[in-house]
Amino acid sequence: MATLTRSRSDKFLAGVCGGLAKQFGIDANLVRILFVLAAIFLQFGWVIYLILWLVLPYEDGGETGFDTVKRQFGSNGPSAG
């Protein structure tokens, strides 16, 4: 079985649903609908989506959500100057 990744080509927000759809061979829009329904009625869909975004890399070996957050908010400390 292939490694679970995020999709660069089939994405609406971060490619999580596109990656899940590709992994399981189903339509990405169905996965998106399921996530929205889980977020509305079960109150955990958004948490699962966020966790998957943080830990899954892009399909071509790109960065994870953690990498993106570190790049955008990380700092190298105060510069000596």
- The reported pTM is 0.75
Q: Is 53 inside any structural domain? A: yes
Flag whether 78 is in a domain: no
Q: Is residue 5 part of a domain?
A: yes
Structural domain boundaries, residue 42: 1-63
Structural domains in the chain (count): 1
Judge contact between 49 and 16, C-beta under 8 A: yes
Residuewise pLDDT in 10s, the chain (81 residues): 568 888 888 888 888 999 999 999 999 999 999 989 988 998 888 888 899 999 988 888 888 888 888 888 875 555 554
Identity of residue 7? S
The answer to whether residue 71 is domain-embedded is no
Tell me, yes or no, whether 8 lies in a domain. yes
